[in-house]
Amino acid sequence: MSTNKSLIRKSRINPITYASLSSDKFHDECGVCGVYGHPEASNLTYLGLHALQHRGQEGAGICSSDRRQLYIEKSMGLVTDIFSEKRLKRIPGDMAIGHNRYSTAGASSLKNVQPIMVNYSLGALAIAHNGNLVNAVELRTELESQGAIFQSTSDSEVVVHMIASSRAGNLYERLIDTMRKISGAFSILLMTENEMIAMRDPYGFRPLSIGIHDGAYVVASETCAFDLIGATYQRDVEPGEMVIINRDGLKSIKPCTSSRQARCIFEFIYFARPDSNIYGNLNVDAMRKEFGRQLAREFPVDADIVIPVPDSGVPAAIGYAKESNIDFDFGLIRNHYVGRTFIEPRQNIRHFGVKIKLNPVRQLLQGKRVLVVDDSIVRGTTSKKIVKMIREGGAKEVHLRISSPPTIGPCFYGIDTPTRKELIASTHSIEEIKKYITADTLQYMTIEGLLKVVPNPEHYCSACFDDNYPVFTRHDKVEQIELF
Ligand code: AMP
């Protein structure tokens, strides 16, 4: 165990800007939404992106088609700040695809905001990608050696170059060719002047669903986008499937197969919205509550009150409280207006840390044995501050329960995680972490418990918890990606 001091030094991370400070690698924790065959396509896509805002806050864009040409509007910032009525009017037509991008370091990130729109030998095309390609570096090097010039550091641009430089004849053949060469996680929406195409990698890492609204097709990362638009869920884009939507309706091709599926289990734990149904219509909120119940069965505690770390820990805390018959309440109140780029005032009133975001309800905590539930610990900095805050709020004891197993490995498939050595659970035992965060007790859900709750657990990737990487199994390859 490192000393507390060295741990603090190592993790001098302000949780508010946590994501923007993580390492310099591809970051593609994103959301996509597209509409085909509706006169209000851009407006509906805008609403869909707004519902998917949690999947990325760095920037957003929408590309539309009026069947003659493509139009694009994209900027840094939040969806509602980017798109004014005037701007939405500049993206006309009955087809549109949109993208939300996750926060990254660096000032030149506008280049990485999607959709990417290009003209190539077969016409115009736009692409919006959620996921992370694990062979993007190799493919990019190869393409550059053949003369390709890249404008961004996004792995999605590699896909565009693959399509443009493919020797296959028509667009479909080029897409099949590309799908078979790219490796890793991709839930992609692509658009030409006349059709919208959805593609999902053969492992099915990231979710992608198809809905119908007013006779128009809607494709989105999560079904919470359908709810806002008023679309009805039809089905998922299957792993390895390419869905072509045009005037002839919807056509399916299955260019890729895989010996296993590897849906990201972390979508259930933290990333997806609880009101979404993903991976064949499984409800995220219900799953999180079950995680909480399982956690209570595995690690019960004598406590007076169960409180969540809002918002990520709420459903699991409800599940924990129900299973253990302990009162549930909101002992920490979250300020929802903290932007990701919040600037703390300088000098004597700075270093608010987590207080900017959370405040304890003293009347609820005073003299109590408090059981607090969160979904995960990454570096441990947030948990440490939260335990301290609950104690200062008057709690007699603070017990922390985490509704996922210890996060020991980074994700190479699209969840933004720091490098392995920055993940506290990769270098410290649960007992050491407990001491560091100063909790009376700390327990994580076991991997066995997690896989017991999820139906068909063999279809999931849980590499961040068990180091079992579905695409790269060789450690040196994993490290190579991490270093990029
Ligand atoms: P930390 O202080 O680094 O341990 O952060 C833990 C908190 O980060 C937990 O409350 C999680 O809900 C949240 N979290 C987990 N994974 C991510 C992620 N990929 N991006 C942003 N926040 C995350």
The position carrying tokens 């509409």 is 35
Q: Calculate how far, in angstroms, residue 392's C-alpha sits from the geometric centre of ligand 1.
A: 22
Residues in contact with 5: Cβ distance below 8 Å, sequence separation at least 6, in sequence order: none
Domains of the chain: which residue ranges?
30-257, 283-455
SS3 assignment, position 448: helix
Could you read off the pLDDT tens digit of each residue along the chain, which spans 484 residues?
Answer: 333 333 323 332 232 223 332 333 444 579 999 999 999 999 999 999 999 999 998 999 999 999 999 999 999 999 999 999 999 999 999 999 999 998 544 444 788 899 999 999 999 999 999 999 999 989 999 999 999 999 888 889 999 999 999 999 899 999 999 999 999 999 999 999 999 999 999 999 999 999 999 999 999 999 999 999 999 999 999 999 999 999 999 999 999 988 899 999 999 999 999 999 999 989 999 999 999 999 999 999 999 999 999 999 999 999 999 999 999 999 999 998 876 555 555 555 555 778 889 999 999 999 999 999 999 999 999 999 999 999 999 999 999 999 999 999 999 999 988 889 999 999 999 999 999 999 999 999 999 999 999 999 999 999 999 999 999 744 434 444 443 3
400 touches ligand 1 (CB under 6 Å): no
Query: Which pLDDT belongs to residue 348?
Result: 58
377 touches ligand 1 (CB under 6 Å): yes
Q: What is the pLDDT of residue 10?
A: 32
Please indicate whether residue 270, judged by its CB atom, sits closer than 6 Å to ligand 1.
Answer: yes
One-letter amino acid of 315 = P
Task: For ligand 1, say whether the CB of 309 is within 6 Å of any of its atoms.
Answer: yes
Nearest residue (CA) to ligand 1, atom 13: 376
pLDDT (tens digit per residue) in 366-402? 999 999 999 999 999 999 999 999 999 999 999 999 9
pLDDT at 416 (0 to 100)? 86
CA of 174 to the centre of ligand 1 (A): 39
Residue 375 CA, closest ligand 1 atom number: 12
- Alpha helices for 396-474 (secondary structure H): 424-427, 430-437, 447-453, 463-466
The pLDDT score that the predictor gives to residue 345 is: 58
- Please give the structure tokens belonging to residue 201: 């990698």
Residue 326's Cβ-side half-sphere holds a number of Cα atoms within 13 Å equal to 25
- CATH 3.60.20.10 fits domain 30-257: yes
Q: How far is the CA of 415 from the centre of ligand 1 (A)?
A: 11
Determine the pLDDT at residue 356: 85
Determine the pLDDT at residue 98: 98
Give distance in angstroms: CA of 378 to centre of ligand 1.
5
Tell me which of 10, 14, 18 to substitute to probe ligand 1's pocket, judged by most ligand atoms within 8 Å of the beta carbon: 18
Tokens for 350, please give them: 């700075």
Q: How far apart are CA 218 and CA 193, in angstroms?
A: 17
Residues near 436 by Cβ (< 8 Å), separated by ≥ 6? 1, 4, 7, 380, 384, 424, 428
Packed helices 171-181 and 156-165: angle between N→C axes, nearest 10 degrees: 130
Which of 16, 372, 382 maximizes ligand 1 atoms within 8 Å of its Cβ, making it the mutation to test the pocket? Answer: 382
CATH number listed for the domain at residues 283-455: 3.40.50.2020
Hey, which of 270, 384, 421, 464 would you mutate to test ligand 1's pocket, going by the most ligand atoms within 8 Å of its Cβ? Answer: 270
The Cα 290–Cα 313 span in angstroms is 12
For residue 377, the CA-to-ligand 1 centroid distance in Å is: 6
Instruction: Give the pair of three-digit tokens for residue 330.
Output: 């909101």
Nearest residue by C-alpha to atom 19 in ligand 1: 416
Taking the CA of residue 384 as reference, the ligand 1 atom at the shortest distance is 2
Q: Which amino acid is at 1?
A: M
Extended strands (E) in 205-357: 209-213, 216-220, 232-236, 242-246, 249-253, 263-264, 277-278, 282-283, 305-308, 332-334
What ligand 1 atom has the least distance to the C-alpha of 418? 19
Backbone angles phi, psi at 374, to 5 degrees: -130, 165
Within 13 A of 32's CA, how many CA atoms are on the CB side?
Answer: 33
Q: Whose CA is nearest to atom 11 of ligand 1?
A: 376
Report whether residue 383 contacts ligand 1, using a CB cutoff of 6 Å: yes
First and final C-alpha spacing in the chain: 28
Closest CA to 370 of 308, 286, 292, 413: 308
43 CB within 6 A, ligand 1: no
* Exposure string for 142-175, b = 16+ CB within 10 A, e = fewer: bbeeeebeeebbbbbbbbbbbbbbbeeeebbebb
pLDDT of residue 22: 34
Q: Whose CA is nearest to atom 22 of ligand 1?
A: 19
CA of 275 to the centre of ligand 1 (A): 20
For the annotated catalytic residues, the residue numbers are: 30
CA 267 to centroid of ligand 1, rounded, Å: 13
Q: Are the folds of 30-257 and 283-455 the same? A: no
Count CA atoms closer than 13 A to 186's CA, side-chain side.
32
**Helices (H) and strands (E) in the chain — how many of each?**
18, 23
417 lines ligand 1 (CB under 6 A): yes
CA distance 403 to 312: 10
Q: What is the pLDDT of residue 475?
A: 42
Q: Which atom of ligand 1 is nearest to the CA of 380?
A: 4
Ligand 1: does its nearest atom lie under 6 Å from the Cβ of 308? no
- CA distance linking residue 194 with residue 188, whole number of Å: 17
Closest-CA residue, ligand 1 atom 21, reads 19
pLDDT at residue 14 in the model: 30
Rounded CA separation 301/393 (Å): 20
Give 454 Cα–ligand 1 centroid separation in angstroms.
Answer: 21
* Residue 15: strand, helix, or coil: helix
Q: Which is the closest atom of ligand 1 to the Cα of 385?
A: 2
Quote the ligand 1 centre to 400 CA distance (angstroms): 15
Residue length of the chain: 484
Placement of tokens 């044995």 in the chain: 369
- Residues forming a β-bridge with 362: none
Cis peptide, bond prior to residue 94, ω within 30 of zero: no
